[in-house]
Each structure stands twice: as structure tokens, then as C-alpha cells.
Amino acid sequence: MLSVQQEYGLQIVRLHSHIGSGSDPEVWHRCACLTLGIAGRLPQVQVVSLGGGFKVARMAGEATVDLQAVGRPIAAEFERFHREHGRRLEMEIEPGTFLAARPGSWCARPWTWWTRG
């Protein structure tokens, strides 16, 4: 990415990483750190987008993400970035499943039942 940026004289102002719809705070933290590491090498970056959505339990045995457990260490990494690089980054998140899963399930509730022969 850095070589393409240099070759074409691009200014990269936004980075996006797709974490996947997950519930493991360590995966979110690791991905945020990797993305912030890249942002540190690109002085024009103003926005870091952590996409993928937050896991919502829809089936037995699935875990719903703990937003506090995910958010605290990521917020700390953004603060660390600010101290080390002297610039504040905006963070975007993609709540996706977290906002749509339960209402989507409710909207898809069957109104009638029938069976085939």
C-alpha cells in the first residue's frame, strides 16, 4: 500500500479494516493495533474505520459482544496513538449486525404455518 501511495502520489486520509462480526475483545484489540500501526506510517490519515459489526447471539451457544470489553482497550490505543504521533484520529465503527439482527429476526417472524404433503 505504501509503495502504491508513493508511486501515484496518493493522500490516504482514511483506513478501513474489516474485523468480521465477532465477540472476542482480543481480536478487536489486535486488529485495531494493526490498523493504527499502519496509520502511524501515513501522516495524512485522519479516520480509522473498524468495520465488521458486533456479534449478536442469535442461536443457542452463541455469545453477544461485550461492548465495554471491546471498547475500553481500543479507546486506550487511540489515546496512545495521539500521545505518540501528536494527532487525534476519528474512529468509525460499523455496528451492522448489532443494530439489525434482533429487529431483523422479529420482522422475519412467520405469520402463518403450513406443511407440504
What pLDDT is attached to residue 102?
67
CA distance 11 to 35: 17
What pLDDT is attached to residue 117?
63
Q: In the β-sheet with 47-51, what is the strand arrangement from edge to edge?
A: 14-18, 47-51, 90-93
Mean pLDDT, the chain, integer: 85
Query: Is pLDDT above 80 for 110?
Result: no
Query: Is pLDDT above 80 for 99?
Result: no
What pLDDT is attached to residue 93?
85
DSSP H stretches of helix in the chain: 2-8, 25-41, 67-85, 97-107
